Amino acid sequence: MSFLKPILIAVIIILALLIIVKANRFATSDQPSNERPKDPVKPEKKPEKPNSQTPIEFFLVYVGRRVPVTHYPFTIGSRNDNDLIITDSTVSRQHAELFRKNGQVCLRDLGSLNGTIVNKVPRSEIVIVGGERIQLGTTVLQIERAIDDVSDDTQFIRR
Amino acid sequence: MAKKKVQKKVQRTQKKEPARADKKYLGVQTLVLFILFQLVSLLTVVVSGRGKAYLYMMIPLVIITYGGWFFVRKMRADTPFFLDVAMLLTFGTMIQCMLLKEDTVPKSLLIIYVLSAVMALVAGFLYKRCSFIASANGTALLIVVSIVLYLATLVLGAAVGGGVRNWISVGGMSIQPSEFNKIIYVLVMAGLLCTKDHPGKKRIWASIFVTLVNLGFLGIQGEFGTFLLILCTFLCLIFLFVPDIKVFASIFSILVAAGAAVAACCVSLLKITGGSSNFGPMQFILNQVQKIVNRFAVWLDPNIDPQGASYQILQARKALLNSNLFGSDTTTPLSNPTNDMVFPALTERCGLLIALTVCILFGLLLIRGTRIYFHCQDRYHQAVCAGLCFQLILQSFIIIGGSIGMFPLTGITLPLISRGGTSLMATFIILAVILVISAGTLWNGRRDYSSYDSKLQKARAVYPKRVSSVRNRNRRRTRVDDTRES
């Protein structure tokens, strides 16, 4: 019987290593390898949503212009792939984001350098009701709830 | 290369959800592999002649691993972290069964496993619901609880081997409260340092005071493994969560200087008095110093007292020398193989490769813990996760290093592998809390903003009839005011 033990222990170690490799999946989570086949299907559905006229709930007032929040997540930052681009040296490249959570709209700070200050209080995540005053770096945005008339400046939205 | 980088960037920006949103969905393959892994471990123990005991131990082990897996999946917590833990636990059960004296039902081990699983469930549930502990009142309550535990140890404590008085017996079972105090200490420090964006001087002083109280009680009990652990946790938390690096630098330098001074004083005291004194407390201090000095002396040269103080270390080294890659059949008698010396025992009975795997698993725990720490949204939970994870890894590092002769040996347990009942309970609680944190949907730990808002308004308010308004008229305005006017 004693000759079995080394073999069994070797098997255990091989199994343990396999589980480690499987479980820890050394590729980073930013590059999902298995979910690629699903992705091409989704983008076809997604563009329909803005066209089907989901009612716009909020506007961001930025330097006197009203920017509608057309989709969620709605990112704000200084890099030019954001939905609202703010060219300000105190605003981070990816500064904040509006997203939906349990039916409510929330604002989340994306790890910015100067922080996101909502109504004078620095927040990492907060539910948005409308009428908030958001300070990103030195830029101040006002959030407005949508009323029926829509007079928007859409040049600030990436299409 | 450049193209690849661009592609990566595009992918990253297109995915708007944070990385935590799509949790690892581990397939059936891993489950099958894990079941196979446990079956083979069972076979190994059967071959070693402790099959019956391990069969009984499989009942709680299977319930803990697969039940835990179910909960983790349901919570959408960090599955890889849990799998590493489950594998470590399987190795631990294996070696504990191999170390049993005869092949019967291991009742005490069964009770320990069941109790710790229940404790872990309760702790996870409490942590998920109980936002109270992050407030000022909650922190005060936790401090009081830890001091009560320490006092209970001092009053009711019974000396168990080596003169360490850190056990109290409750209902026929002996409990080591310092294991729970470690967890409470991390929670207190997180509540003090991380419920505000920038902890002020008051909070830093309070945290230093709490640390000193903890260290003092541990010193009185003569438990220097936990003493070292809490000291390192303190440094780690100060380093990570006090934004001003000067605080860490000054505390670290003061600690080093004070440590050197105290060590020099103690050694010279020992030389002057010769290790005995008429004054009671003095004698106590001298005993403690003598103990630590002995540990160092034995570590440097194990051959000075081969039958007494250095017997443990010598036997451990013999066991390490006796081991081969896949486990040897002959065994050396170790002085405390189930607790302190579990690592040499594991190396001897299961082979060097399994010992190496255990080390790798602890390293992976550190990596996964760091990932959880970085994915945390909230600073309080970040602090709790960092502190607990750091403690777990440091504990395993110290005891593995101690038993293989890298450091002087201190009597703490190897988490998840040693038998120590309270230690296993505390480890399970720590793991439950970390897993709940990794699930993400938790209360906000920054609870001081309710008063912060009104405080800010008070500071800004102008009372025209007061002298202070005149004094503050020329005060430099803050940035918030500037932007409002522009």
- Give pLDDT, residue A54: 62
Is the reported ipTM for this assembly greater than 0.90?
no
How are beta strands A65-68 and A116-118 bridged, if at all?
A: unpaired
Least confident of B109-113, B274-278, B344-348, B443-447: B443-447
Q: What span, in angstroms and rounded, lies between the C-alpha atoms of B428 and B156?
A: 26
Interface test with A, best of B24, B37, B328 (most A CBs within 10 A): B37
Chain B interface includes A19 (CB < 8 A):
yes
Q: With CB atoms and an 8 Å threshold, state whether A6 touches B326.
A: yes
- Where do the H-state alpha helices sit in chain A? 4-24, 41-45, 48-51
Bridge partners of B174, per DSSP, are B169
- Give pLDDT, residue B273: 79
Residue by residue, DSSP assigns B420-435 as -HHHHHHHHHHHHHHH
Q: With CB atoms and an 8 Å threshold, state whether A117 touches B483.
A: no
Q: Three-state DSSP class for B281? A: helix
Q: What span, in angstroms and rounded, lies between the C-alpha atoms of B76 and B21?
A: 9
Interfacial B residues in 389-448 facing A (CB < 8 Å): 444, 446
Q: Which of A5, A29, A139 sits opposite B44 (nearest CB)?
A: A5
Summarised one tens digit per residue, pLDDT across range B76-87 is: 888 889 999 999
Residue B483 pLDDT > 60, yes or no? no
Residue B387 pLDDT > 90, yes or no? yes
Does the model's pTM come out above 0.90? no
Chain A interface includes B223 (CB < 8 A):
no
Min distance A64 CA to chain B CA atoms (Å):
12
Residue for token pair 């000193």? B212
Q: B342 vs A129, which has greater pLDDT? A: B342
- Give pLDDT, residue B9: 46
Q: Three-state DSSP class for B312? A: helix
Hey, what amino acid is at B106?
P
Chain B interface includes A29 (CB < 8 A):
yes
Q: What is the pLDDT along chain A (159 residues), one digit of tens a residue?
A: 577 888 888 888 888 888 888 877 654 444 444 444 444 444 444 444 444 456 677 888 887 778 888 888 888 888 877 888 888 888 888 888 888 888 788 888 888 888 888 888 888 888 888 788 888 888 888 888 876 444 555 545 554
Q: Three-state DSSP class for A100? A: strand
Q: With CB atoms and an 8 Å threshold, state whether B361 touches A117.
A: no
Parse chain B into domains and list their residue ranges: 14-442
- Give pLDDT, residue B1: 41
Q: With CB atoms and an 8 Å threshold, state whether B87 touches A19.
A: yes
Interfacial A residues in 125-154 facing B (CB < 8 Å): 125, 135, 138-140
- Give pLDDT, residue B243: 82
Burial B143-180 (b: 16+ CB within 10 A, else e): beebbebbeebeeebeeeeeebbbbbeeeeeebbbbbb
Residues of chain B with pLDDT > 90, as a percent, come to 24
- Give pLDDT, residue B231: 93
Chain A residues with CB inside 8 Å of B16's CB?
73, 75, 97, 99
Q: B397 vs A121, which has greater pLDDT? A: B397
Interface test with B, best of A1, A12, A21 (most B CBs within 10 A): A12
- Give pLDDT, residue A157: 56
Q: How many CA atoms lie within 13 A of A73 on its CB side?
A: 22
- Give pLDDT, residue B361: 92
Residue B135 pLDDT > 60, yes or no? yes
Summarised one tens digit per residue, pLDDT across range B224-273 is: 888 999 999 999 999 988 888 888 999 999 999 999 999 898 888 888 87
- Give pLDDT, residue A36: 46
**What number of other Cβ atoms are within 10 A of residue B361's Cβ?**
19
Q: What span, in angstroms and rounded, lies between the C-alpha atoms of B458 and B480?
A: 15
Radius of gyration of chain A (CA): 23
Stretch (H or E) spanning B262: helix B245-273
Q: B104 vs B363, which has greater pLDDT? A: B363
Residue B114 pLDDT > 80, yes or no? yes
Segment B420-442 shows an average pLDDT of 88
Count of pairs with CB atoms under 8 A, one residue in A, one in B: 119
Q: How confident is the model at residue B432 (pLDDT cuts 50, 70, 90)?
A: very high
Residue B161 pLDDT > 80, yes or no? no
- Give pLDDT, residue B388: 94
Q: A153 vs B441, which has greater pLDDT? A: B441
Segment B39-51 shows an average pLDDT of 86
Chain B interface includes A13 (CB < 8 A):
yes
Q: How many CA atoms lie within 13 A of B222 on its CB side?
A: 21
Residues of chain B with pLDDT > 70, as a percent, come to 82
Closest by CA to B376, choosing from B393, B359, B364, B388, is B388
- Give pLDDT, residue B441: 72
Min distance A58 CA to chain B CA atoms (Å):
19
- CA-based torsion, A146, A149, A155, A159: positive or negative: positive
Summarised one tens digit per residue, pLDDT across range B308-332 is: 777 888 888 888 888 888 877 777 7
